[in-house]
Amino acid sequence: MKAVILVGGYGKRLRPLTDTIPKPLLPVAGKPILDWQLDWLKANGIRSVILLTGYLHDGLIKKARELCRKKGIEMKYTVEKIPLGTGGALKLAEKLLENEDEFLLINGDIITNMSVKRLSLGNNVAAMALVPLRTSYGVAELKGDKIIGFKEKPVLKDHWINAGVYLLGKDIFDYVPTKGDLEKTAFAELSWNKLLKGVRLDGIYWRSIDSHKDLEEVSKDLKKISVTNVH
């Protein structure tokens, strides 16, 4: 199976770091986000990746080639000359995926140890990994009108969010736009037609790196967990 990685974004919330460094190359616990992702993909048996690049692509492609060569992973890439959204970026890779019955698509800013074997299509066009919502706020525990305690940034296990990891069938390109985001176009249409499977994944490590604080917290986490111990 091939994995396609969305790495073309500007990473605006991580400026000024991303003014000169593409977000996937930002260091977390001593090595780039992309390096962690490639280790995770390799642990899942994936040996071929396609990078969907755009912003600061020259440096990203050079470093990615170096990382992939060391890990024995085949690498191809596309380049957005203008921002096309996640859907448009994927559309550029359609020819590179024409012989694949299914493939993995992941956001280029997540760190996880999930096993991709837990994703399956069945009769669906796409399957989306879902993880419990981690709130960024402290939550008060109430008994009547009395506060009896607090939970700091709890995981809300009755609310599920998009984990940015998708298993996609070859028919996905019937729904992918030449410009626009997958969430607002292809995935919305698939959900209306009941062709989008949601796979709830609990008990795994998953974080999206969207802020400077995320960089710090995930760096601490990676001293305790392994992305190659997939489950």
227 occurs within a structural domain:
no
* Residue pair 201/129 in contact by the 8 Å Cβ criterion: yes
Q: Into how many domains does the chain fold?
A: 1
231 occurs within a structural domain:
no
Q: What is the pLDDT along the chain (231 residues), one digit of tens a residue?
A: 999 999 999 999 999 999 999 999 999 999 999 999 999 999 999 999 999 999 999 999 999 999 999 999 999 999 999 999 999 999 999 999 999 999 999 999 999 999 999 999 999 999 999 998 877 667 777 877 778 777 766 676 668 999 999 999 999 999 999 999 999 999 999 999 999 999 999 889 999 999 999 999 999 999 999 999 898
Which residue of the set 31, 70, 151, 153 is catalytic?
Answer: 153
Q: Please say if 153 is a catalytic residue.
A: yes
Nearest Cα residue to 60 out of 110, 24, 103, 29: 24
What's the predicted TM-score (pTM) here? 0.92
Give the span between the Cα atoms of 128 and 143, in whole angstroms.
37
229 occurs within a structural domain:
no
> What's the CATH code of the domain at 40?
3.90.550.10
Domain limits for position 119:
2-221
Give the span between the Cα atoms of 142 and 112, in whole angstroms.
33
Q: How far is CA 224 from the centre of its chain?
A: 21
